[in-house]
Chain A
Amino acid sequence: GAVVSQHPSRVICKSGTSVKIECRSLDFQATTMFWYRQFPKQSLMLMATSNEGSKATYEQGVEKDKFLINHASLTLSTLTVTSAHPEDSSFYICSARDILGIPSGDPPETQYFGPGTRLLVL
């Protein structure tokens, strides 16, 4: 239980194009999903928190018009990097949480992560 998938695993795109990354909870309902970014040699940094059916909450310094987040269902959230530029090249990873606590017995605060997406903008 508690599997989160993320697609694509890697993407290379030209500067100025938009890239969509999908995050899915496969066997539980994700009331909340989180998007993180990791630059080389740095820690995972929270970009935004999204609750199903409502607007995402962005961390300070993260442009909401640049990183569009949609959490339209309890199993799917998408992150769209709009008009990507080389400085957006990074590792993007999502996590999901079921605030009610999934049947595996883990504490409800547990976040379950996808495998991440490596984005390279040329």
Chain B
Amino acid sequence: KNEVEQSPQNLTAQEGEFITINCSYSVGISALHWLQQHPGGGIVSLFMLSSGKKKHGRLIATINIQEKHSSLHITASHPRDSAVYICAVRTGNQFYFGTGTSLTVIP
């Protein structure tokens, strides 16, 4: 049983395209995180959300608590956005992670 489901698993886009990655979860949460894992393996925290919407540069993250769903959008995608994007939910002091969406942006 997966507490966190992401879609799609793999995504290939042309440079400049608008990208959406989806995350659904089945547990009550105190916060949802979006993480980026680079091809070299390092992980960077992109957003932490408990409601509404956040924007950082070309990245936008939204969450709908009632529907238990979050989306990560990338506008004007660029090859340097190629990475694995991971959704994680925090319930109490525990974390549950999605298996990630592997994004490749082609020039």
The answer to whether A binds B is no
Interface residues of A (CB under 8 A from B): none
